[in-house]
Amino acid sequence: MPLSRSRVSIKEIDQTRNFKAINMIGLAGVAFLLFFGANAIFQENYLLAAVLFGSSAFGLFSILLMQSTRNYGYGSYGISIPVIIVFAYLIASGGVENTGPLWCYSLFLIIMLLQGFKKGVMAFFGLLIVAIVLMFYPNLSFVSAEYSQTFKIRFIASFIALGIMASLYEYLRWKSQNDYVAISHELELASRTDTLTGLANRRAMQASLEIEQSLFFRHGHPFSIIMMDLDHFKQINDRYGHGKGDELLIQIARLLSKEVRQQDLVCRWGGEEFLILLPQTNQEHSLVVAEKLRKAIEAIDLEVIGIADSVTASFGVECISATRNISELIAESDRKLYEAKRHGRNQVFDPAGRICATGTVE
């Protein structure tokens, strides 16, 4: 069973940040477009005003659609599309007194910010091609602006320089974010993993138990736990040393992980005590699993790690349907483990208070 993720993932944090950024950039962009649209009307440049007002309306609609659907794509693409249209129009028309291209730098940066590194680089090359075609391709009927050869060369060169610098910055930010995600994942995994055995620790088990309990209350899916403790583990530590004791725990952890199903979760509960979670498993089947584990531990060959003694374990099994909550479930399985110890160890204690040592449920 995979370990449950943290309540607020890094992806969700990043999506929230992007959502806020799109809102702020989009609303600011709409305000600017409306202002310059009004200015274009004042200067009787009605075509420019129509492009600016239309782009602002499209951007505002995209923001409202994003807010209502909580879909980040509507906002990022809904703003990027009118930005590209304005970019092309400002170069083709020259804007006001041929100053339109000067605004293209900031328009490109908006797209890079909204689309991220990979899509931003693609947008950069696309905008660069658009600018080159509009400025250098002769006799385009819809291009009314006239620029000097020097201005065109300097604009393209400066746009390329800006694109390279912006792409490098966005790449480093993207790489740092990926590194941060990887480190956070490792820390999250470490916080839920036992360092010696590599099994889940108490925190991870507690989270998984809460999930299973929720499924049980909602859908009635039963689950069981097996509390297991190695018999006479202290004697092995005293005789062979704590290093060999640790090697024994690692061997037991590997054995338990191998013997259970993929959806089951094995946890080092503490010391030489292990807890196994069996989703969608009733009391009878969990007893059979516990007996299977008991026999596997009893038969393990420890000479490979330098321990000549045999090792056994005692088991307590409990199903959620017989208790009311996780605390009672754990307490009852622990009580039955104690009963197995009290009756002679190397045993599985069944729910009726009898020793189940045959591999079946009577």
Cβ partners under 8 Å of residue 272, min gap 6: 229, 230, 233, 249
Cα–Cα dist 90/152, whole Å: 14
Q: What is the dihedral of CA 152, 157, 159, 161, to 10 degrees?
A: -170
Looking at the DSSP bridge assignments, the partners of residue 223 are: 279
HSE, side-chain direction, 13 A CA sphere, residue 99? 4
Q: What is the 3-state secondary structure (H, E, C) of the chain?
A: CCCCCCCCCHHHHHHHHHHHHHHHHHHHHHHHHHHHHHHHHHCCCHHHHHHHHHHHHHHHHHHHHHHHHCCHHHHHHHHHHHHHHHHHHHHHHCCCCCCHHHHHHHHHHHHHHHHHHHHHHHHHHHHHHHHHHHHHCCCCCCCCCCCCHHHHHHHHHHHHHHHHHHHHHHHHHHHHHHHHHHHHHHHHHHHCECCCCCCECHHHHHHHHHHHHHHHHHHCCCEEEEEEEECCHHHHHHHHCHHHHHHHHHHHHHHHHHHCCCCCEEEEEECCEEEEEEECCCHHHHHHHHHHHHHHHHCCCCHHHCCCCCCCEEEEEEEHHHCCCHHHHHHHHHHHHHHHHHCCCCCEECCCCCEECCCCCC
The catalytic residue among 272, 291, 318, 332 is 272
Active site residue 328: no
Cα–Cα dist 168/173, whole Å: 9
Q: Is there a contact between 229 and 341 (Cβ–Cβ < 8 Å)? A: yes
Cα–Cα dist 211/287, whole Å: 22
- Positions marked catalytic: 272
